[in-house]
Structure 1
């Protein structure tokens, strides 16, 4: 079964980008004449996503006009955080509104041109709790590295530091919603630190390499760069 439903994490405070975009959530930052998140939803609708759950928090009112214009016929719902829940808490709350067994998890400030059909097939083949899309990079220090075993199961997450090369977590996941909701997890937690990186031996966490365009606009340098790379988003 193809993945047809996506949760977009769009409630972050965006503190690192605030010098460039002071008045908006970072995923609503303008790129060309549209908010960044519009390119994200356009892309994944083309890939086959039929329903979006927007996990909102900080300055959630900024999304109202965008959602009306982007989804005039519906096809979305909102999971609103009354207080910051962390990425894990936000996903857990949004999962209560999901309808599919497997959901796609996206970060609203990241564009990663993944092959959704390949991710769906991989996730199903591995009977994974969660499948990560991994981007190969060279000469970087902004991201940690993910190491896989011979079966593509995640065996280690390495901390952020300089690496001459490696696979990074691209922030796009296929998640088995039912298994995730059965986990004994707190109300507020980090999906990355408290779910993905803990007790790896007990969870079926796998990684699939996807060598396609990737950008995270969370810092001003990359936000400036995306203005000249709009063609990659179309």
Structure 2
């Protein structure tokens, strides 16, 4: 299995707590957050990861240029912001697999990637999304789903339990090339929302641990919780 990790954003909401570091390099119990994500992928059998980098790219290059595991790590650097969609499209040019996972570099989700891939292939889907149940969807926005069919997305602010987009996608390598898209674009807004009825994405219903370190409160919570999920020694 092969994955792209989006690690190029500025992370402005966390800048006051973790200055001068890209958000995926924020330290969690003495290790960069991104190391937990990479270790999880390696444990689940991934062979190759493309790190999409931009803001303070050298910090990530220096931190993971010599990964001590079996996982092959390569870098795709954007020299000007391309948005999440533009970054994915650029990194896809370096991918080898026909279907590629895409993850956010500031979130960690417990996902059975092999099962998600089997479902994706069995459904002959071009795009699959991992959804995670949470007790309150207000911060993230919710996903309306019926079995494995995604019906729509609701805006942030609506309270109550439900499924959220866990920020884990599995897509065909050429998917973005089949759409009319600008050079810079948001994957969430200009692909998921605008092309929902065209793409018919498949929902993979995950369960388990989920955290997004994008705000200081959850970053503090990750210090205790994440090492219990992925012990690094």
TM-score bracket for this pair, using the shorter chain length: over 0.9
Which region of structure 1 is more displaced relative to structure 2, 65-74 or 52-61? 65-74
> Aligned match of 1:41 in 32, 38, 47?
38
Residue 127 (structure 1) shift? 1.5
Structure-to-structure mapping, 1:107-146, within 5 angstroms: 107-146=104-143
Residue 198 (structure 1) shift? 1.0
3-state SS, counterpart of residue 202 of structure 1 = helix
User: Is the contact between residue 104 and residue 172 of structure 1 (CA under 8 Å) also seen in structure 2?
Assistant: yes
3-state SS, counterpart of residue 17 of structure 2 = coil
CA distance in 2, matches of 1:73, 1:207: 30
CA distance in 2, matches of 1:100, 1:30: 31
CA distance in 1, matches of 2:98, 2:78: 23
Residue 180 (structure 1) shift? 2.8
| Aligned twin of 1:217 | 213
Alignment pair present for 1:60 and 2:93: no
Residue 70 (structure 1) shift? 1.9
Alignment pair present for 1:17 and 2:14: yes
CA distance in 2, matches of 1:74, 1:221: 31
Count of equivalent residues: 230
Residue 181 (structure 1) shift? 2.4
3-state SS, counterpart of residue 189 of structure 1 = coil
| Aligned twin of 2:155 | 159
CA distance in 1, matches of 2:220, 2:71: 32
1:52–1:18 Cα change, 3 Å: same
User: Is the contact between residue 145 and residue 167 of structure 1 (CA under 8 Å) also seen in structure 2?
Assistant: yes
Alignment pair present for 1:30 and 2:27: yes
Superposed CA RMSD in Å reads: 1.4
TM-score by length of 1: 0.94
Unaligned runs of 5+ residues in structure 1 are none
Unaligned runs of 5+ residues in structure 2 are none
Residue 161 (structure 1) shift? 1.0
3-state SS, counterpart of residue 44 of structure 1 = helix
CA deviations on 1:18-72 (whole Å, 9 max, x unpaired) are: 1110110010000111101001001101111100101000000101232133257
CA distance in 2, matches of 1:139, 1:14: 23
After TM superposition, the runs of 4+ consecutive aligned structure 1 residues lying more than 6 A away are: none
CA distance in 2, matches of 1:216, 1:72: 25
> Aligned match of 2:173 in 173, 177, 192?
177
3-state SS, counterpart of residue 228 of structure 2 = helix
1:199–1:69 Cα change, 3 Å: closer
User: Is the contact between residue 55 and residue 90 of structure 1 (CA under 8 Å) also seen in structure 2?
Assistant: yes
CA distance in 2, matches of 1:84, 1:35: 23
